[in-house]
Structure 1
Amino acid sequence: MKSESSAPVNARRLEIIDGCIQTFMRYGYKKTSMDDLARSIGLSRQALYLNFSDKATLFKATVGRVIERLREAGQEALGNEAEPIEARLGRAFDEVHGHSVGYDTLDEILETSVQMVGPVFDEFEVTFQADLAKALQVAGVARRWKSPRVTAELLAAQLYAASKGHKHLSSSAEVYRERMRGAIHLVCRSPEQLPSTA
């Protein structure tokens, strides 16, 4: 017999999960009640319990859905080769990190995710950085630096670290985007194209 967390996600359950993401983001896991979740999606608490037996089960399903959406959005942005590489990187980071700027609950949600689901966000980070490196490689960004030490993987790691820092330090999504545009611009230019400090 399948457990509830491994059961297929039907359209109704998926709609509930998608509707609960913002509520978990706003209040965090600990402060969110099933009443809060039911209200946020226009259901009675009883109707919510018919689909999910408890808050933990719903949270686990929500984490899985968030990871799936982040992966799809990041890959879609990076894969659009009709756009310049800087635009693709900007859109990918906005999809992956931009929407979570300004939430004080983020650390608590990530910690709870690790405890309940495992290191799924860490695993996503590794995959996303590999996707970034591939896009940078194909676009020839590392070659512009003319150094064997500057690899696409190194540039991807630097951009990802910048994004994580700006996500926590930016006061708004627009500030985050502006700072990431600067970081992306620096990475995508060769040293000869950067302004001289002399």
Structure 2
Amino acid sequence: MGTELKSPEKPPDDARRNRLLDAALGVFLRYGFRKTSMDQVARAADVSRQGLYLHFATKEDLFLATLQHSMEVSLRLASEGLSDVSLPLEERLVRGFDAWVGRYVGMLGADARDLSEVLSASGVQEVATRHETLFLEAVAKLLRASGLVAAYKSTGLTARQLTDTLYATARGLKYSSGTREAFVQGIGVAIRALCMPLGASR
């Protein structure tokens, strides 16, 4: 059974706009919100400052659009991993968590510490929560379909509780892993342990 993630409504795909957002993401991850300037983003995207302002009136608008774009890309990649029925359950889960949680591990610059503060702002948090909910629902759906929840029936654990446990582990690994590779190794161990009731990898 496939596990589909549906992203919130968004404007028609605009390749140029997406390239701007990809470039902006790299700059925000390196310098944080406060130290990032529109000039830096324009240079990274290889467009004029005026060209950037045609798409985004303020740095705040750019940041919110960048956040939403990065989450939509992460959801799409997570969906591809979780939905790939040719892969064993454990690998599907690793790919899903890597796409959603591990994708930017090791990429934050020293000046990007303020991003967590900016992410707690109400408008930004609403976007983040909406996408996070879609991801967690998809993981829980996959766990139910895999038979893993049935294997845990005697413990009384639900699909959402198993999902939340993996997610808490992934978030901890996000901050303790120095590289994306280390994150993947760590979440792989956690997923292997969780899937033990199903026996060897399918």
Query: Shorter-chain TM-score: which interval?
Result: 0.7 to 0.9
Counterparts of 2:125 and 2:183, CA distance in 1: 28
Counterparts of 1:99 and 1:180, CA distance in 2: 13
Corresponding residue number in structure 1 for 2:154: 147
| SS at 1:147 equivalent | helix
In 2 relative to 1, CA 25–75 (structure 1 residues): closer, same or farther, beyond 3 Å?
Answer: same
Which structure carries more relative contact order (alpha carbon 8 Å, separation 6+)?
Answer: 2
Q: CA deviation at 1:182?
A: 0.4
Counterparts of 1:91 and 1:175, CA distance in 2: 14
Question: Is the 2:31–2:112 contact (alpha carbons within 8 Å) kept by the matching residues of 1?
Answer: no
Question: Is the 2:23–2:44 contact (alpha carbons within 8 Å) kept by the matching residues of 1?
Answer: yes
Q: Is 1:123 aligned with 2:130?
A: yes
Query: Which structure has the larger Rg over C-alpha atoms?
Result: 1
| SS at 1:83 equivalent | coil
Corresponding residue number in structure 2 for 1:83: 87
Counterparts of 2:12 and 2:89, CA distance in 1: 37
Q: Which runs of 4+ in 1 moved over 4 A?
A: 6-9, 104-107
Q: CA deviation at 1:142?
A: 1.8
Corresponding residue number in structure 2 for 1:50: 54
TM-score by length of 2: 0.83
Q: CA deviation at 1:106?
A: 6.3
Corresponding residue number in structure 2 for 1:163: 170
Which structure 2 residues correspond to residues 2-21 of structure 1 after superposition, within 5 A? 10-21=14-25
Question: Is the 2:37–2:59 contact (alpha carbons within 8 Å) kept by the matching residues of 1?
Answer: yes
Corresponding residue number in structure 1 for 2:71: 67
TM-score by length of 1: 0.85
Counterparts of 1:117 and 1:125, CA distance in 2: 12
In 2 relative to 1, CA 33–88 (structure 1 residues): closer, same or farther, beyond 3 Å?
Answer: same
Give the unaligned 5+ runs of structure 1. Answer: 1-5
Corresponding residue number in structure 2 for 1:113: 119
| SS at 1:97 equivalent | helix
Letter in 2 for 1:129: L
Q: CA deviation at 1:10?
A: 3.5
Question: Is the 1:60–1:113 contact (alpha carbons within 8 Å) kept by the matching residues of 2?
Answer: no
Corresponding residue number in structure 2 for 1:186: 193
Letter in 1 for 2:163: A
In 2 relative to 1, CA 167–65 (structure 1 residues): closer, same or farther, beyond 3 Å?
Answer: same
Counterparts of 1:106 and 1:42, CA distance in 2: 22
Letter in 2 for 1:158: T
Counterparts of 2:167 and 2:138, CA distance in 1: 11
Counterparts of 2:144 and 2:11, CA distance in 1: 39
Counterparts of 2:126 and 2:117, CA distance in 1: 9
Q: CA deviation at 1:7?
A: 7.4
In 2 relative to 1, CA 113–126 (structure 1 residues): closer, same or farther, beyond 3 Å?
Answer: same
Aligned length: 188
